[in-house]
Structure 1
Amino acid sequence: MVEKFEIKSHDGPGRLGRLGDIQTPAIFNEKEIENILADDEQTAYNIEREIAEWGVRRTIKKAENEKNQNPNSKIAVIQGSKYVDLRIECGKKLEELGYNGLIIANGDDLLLHPRDLVNLIVELRKNLKPNTYLIFTFAECSFIPLLSYMGIDGFLSGSDEYYSYLNVLTTPTKNYDLEVYKLSEMNQKQIAECNKKTLDFVASEVREHMKNKTLRNLIEERGVTSPQNASALRILDKYHQDYLQENTQLY
């Protein structure tokens, strides 16, 4: 993975980009980025501010030490728990250290808090450099189009294997517990392979919709797949019209 990230075009705030040979939005393999990923101080999502501040300070210090020891480190983690200002502070400090790939921590918790999710992504995109690419952790497939539309450039793999352990098959719109929905008699490895293909397909689907300027149509279709998804879209439209309009092409 190379350092330079290029934005090729926009569909709303969504960014169709390139990172070396990788087209974004993309699925990033956790194991493949380990050698360019800085260590961080993991903190829970819903904690006291003092602990979150400590986690941010420790994360920045670890990222600084990593950069001194390994100048090839390109990706770091934005900590800050539920506090948007701490997340922005963390992101800006990491940019100053030379990181242009930033992972948003606590992705699974953010998906359960649509208002926090939308506010955080919008504020990060407003405050960070355009050529800084954002990576989301543990995104549900049905959420990937909306997250990409808001400005997320990549998604970490891992959910494919996690759901296979639970005997859950993922699709672009829904997750199926195979103990309840007898759709297939696959083993765990086969389920993981199918889940990985779904992740790759959804990322490809998003890129193609971006190229055709139809991503908004896709996210409105996916907006009915879960209450959290629908809520996030309504919040985005109601409270962040300025962000949407300044990034939407006029015809």
Structure 2
Amino acid sequence: MKEYILNRLTRNKKWWDYLDFRSLECQAALFFSILLIVLIHFLNVYETFEPFLLAFQNITLGIAQALIGMLGFVLAGIAIIISTLKKDVVKKIDQINGNGTVKKILSSFEFLALNISVLIVWFYILYLLLSTPSKLIGVISFNFIVFFTSYFFLFVIFYSTGLVSNCAKLFLISNTYEDIVSNEKNIIETANEIRIDFILNTLIQDNQISQVEFLTKLEQFVENSNVMEKEKIKNYFKNYYS
């Protein structure tokens, strides 16, 4: 069944990230948004809006264009991370840290990509509104829009910065778990070899099969199989069991 991005974000409780003031991105976004409101009030931007109009238009248009490039960067980052996460590594991470751990990490990229997309549309809407000859809205609505826009934009900026750090951590974690998986495979391979040697040794000691007969049948089995490099495999068995 197809699952939409909004459903995944809701299941992973990503919407609470906007108001998680324990995180650096929310704290920084709130601090600089309040600072911007104070600066706008100090400069009397609302009372003398006309001289600032062109600057606001350039800012909204420039940010919208920059966010388009940022969205492409995020999508490329998601593709790179997904390609580096092998199935065995993902399974081991979920096994140790809980089911769905990797999905929760990837949902942060989905959350960021969605927010950037919404911001692009929002800044183009603001650019169009600033380009119309309509009368300026009330001071409370003006301050609210400035605060909301700055908080949303700064949240995305700092959230993406934090996600870059998490990407680096995820890469290191992936390498660590890949080593764990590789080590486990080596142990399993060694255990299988010991088990096979034990079975073979028991059969030979009980005179159920000779070593020569075992090698002959093993080489015949390899020859009839679909494996690659049959000669190398047969030579390996000859050296190992002779």
User: Is the structural similarity TM-score above 0.5?
Assistant: no
Task: Indicate the TM-score class for this superposition, using the shorter chain for normalisation.
Answer: under 0.3
TM-score by length of 1: 0.21
Greater fraction helix = 2
Greater fraction strand = 1
**Comparing both chains, which one has the higher relative contact order based on Cα–Cα distances under 8 Å and sequence gaps of 6 or more?**
2
- Higher-Rg member (1/2): 2
